[in-house]
Amino acid sequence: MSVLYSDEYLEKLKQLAHEKAPEYAANKPFPHIYFDDFLPLEAAEAALRDFPEPRQLQWTEFSNQNEKKLAFDFVEKLPTSVRDVLFFMNSRPMVQFLEVLTGIKGVIPDPYFVGGGLHQIKRGGHLEVHADFNWHEQLQLDRRINVLIYLNKDWEEEYGGHFELWNREMTRADRKILPLFNRCAIFSTTDFSYHGHPTPLACPPDRSRKSMATYYYSNGRPEEEVTDSHSTIFLQRPDAPVIAEANGRSGVKSFLHAVTPPFIADAYRSRRK
């Protein structure tokens, strides 16, 4: 039996969820938490060992002003050790853990791993602060939770790559989390959970920032968490180059409407009436 499904590990998850739920809800700037040594060590070591290098897969490459990264979501094509972790992240024990930890009921994992799977960022890469897409078109569900597992051994502070959580006013990062090996970051996704990895990576050329991502959904959500249905919204940091301007107006709300296709927004509005 896989160590991921051992009684010892599943009991650890249950205890963590109950013990840390109050902390998760209270954390600022929005509900979140991170855990060190999250996966059983054997599973984490194997996933890192078999994590594909950039040349080993046909990664999707993003390279523009807002993001410079690699992504791969065809989980069934990954090495067994990596695939097993991602499939576990969509399993019943993980969903039950997340429901208790976050207080969100009716959590549904994504078998398509849309936007998730593996992420890899090489030296100089980055991901600007953003709010995630909030609607899964295939599943017709609302996005509620992100889970990120980092696989970076001997990662120095000066390499950067911190996962940053920004306040709603976009004036500062209230928390910065270094992407250390077997560290798991979890947060609730709303239109105001601004996050990213905006500072270009400064690791050695032969290193990369490796992570695994799974996203979770529900059928409906609190009205105050969203504006319209939208794809990823990149946001303006203080003293950073202007990333968006719409009809002479700059800022978060105008950019949201600028990047949201009208048919998606209309469908979302009608769905919520």
Q: Is the pTM of this model over 0.85?
A: yes
pLDDT on residue 126 = 97
* Residues ≥6 apart with Cβ < 8 Å to 233: 130, 131, 191, 252, 255, 256, 259
Calculate mean pLDDT across residues 89-93.
98
Mean pLDDT of 252-273: 39
What pLDDT digit, counting tens, does each position of 35-53 carry?
999 999 999 999 999 999 9
Percent of the chain, pLDDT > 70? 88
Tens digits of residue pLDDT in 118-153: 999 999 999 999 999 999 999 999 999 999 999 999
- Report the CATH superfamily, name and number, of domain 3-226: q2cbj1_9rhob like domain (2.60.120.620)
Strands (E), 25-66: 32-35, 60-63
Distance separating alpha carbons of residues 126 and 72, to the nearest angstrom = 16
pLDDT at 57 over 80: yes
